[in-house]
Amino acid sequence: MKVLKKATKYCEDKDLKEMCDMNIGDYDSLNEYAIKVFDAMANDTLADEAKELFKPRSESAVLPDVAIYTIVIWACICSSKIKAAHNVYLYMIANGVTPISCTYIILINTLANNSSSYVNFVRCAKKYFLEMLDKGMTPPSSSYMAVFKAIARQEPVVKAKEFLEQIQAKGFSPKLDVPHFDVAYMEEAMKALKMADVLINAKKLQKL
């Protein structure tokens, strides 16, 4: 229970705390919730990463610390508490728990997809993407696309080019045919994404 209590340290929001107490308040509940998380990951083409995450650390079938932290991060995300999820991750690092690919992918995609609510999420998503590459991990194309779209919406073209050069220098190439990986196409795509955001925001204002 010690690791679980540490991992839920940032579940101070009332709604989030109730959710944590209900779903992951003890190890039995945690294990049941872990099965749901595993199924969700497997259905989202992360079956291999999920198997790595939930591999028991001993014959007693005790979940590794990184799995417990990642489950809490997932729970925060499901409650739309993105900052809390990031705080749990930072607390995990501070406690010497090393993230694995699954932890990174969940965090990168979430931060990138929610960058419109907090601009600093873009910088963090890029940082963790590069960390994965430095550790010899291969982010899925979905993570690259999520980060690219976040950069396109929140940062200038020069930042996108800089990020592209960094990941190419580290040997990254999307498994799928991702046209945004081409510099010329990337600039056009960024313009289109920014224009789409302008139109969406304009429609929202009209409804007010």
Distance CA 38, CA 41 (A): 5
- The helix-helix angle for 27-43 and 65-78 (nearest 10°) equals 70
The CB-side HSE value for 73 (13 A sphere, CA atoms) comes to 25
- How does residue 113 score in pLDDT terms, banded at 50, 70 and 90? very high
Would you tell me which CATH number, out of the four given (1.20.120, 1.10.1760, 3.30.379, 1.25.40), belongs to the domain 2-207? 1.25.40
What is the distance between the alpha carbons of residues 117 and 186, in angstroms, rounded to a whole number?
A: 23
- Reported as a single tens digit per residue, the pLDDT across 34-75 is 888 888 888 877 888 888 887 765 555 578 889 888 988 988
- pLDDT, position 111: 96
Domain-wise residue ranges, the chain: 2-207
**Res. 199 pLDDT band, cuts 50 70 90:** very low
Tens of pLDDT along 149-177? 888 888 888 888 888 889 989 998 765 55
Residue type (1 letter), 15: D
Q: What pLDDT, on a 0 to 100 scale, did the predictor assign at position 6?
A: 62
Contact 27, 4 (CB under 8 A): yes
Q: Which of 44, 169, 24 is nearest to 105 (CA)?
A: 44
Q: How far apart are CA 192 and CA 195, in angstroms?
A: 5
Task: Please state, rounded to an integer, the average pLDDT across all residues of the chain.
Answer: 79
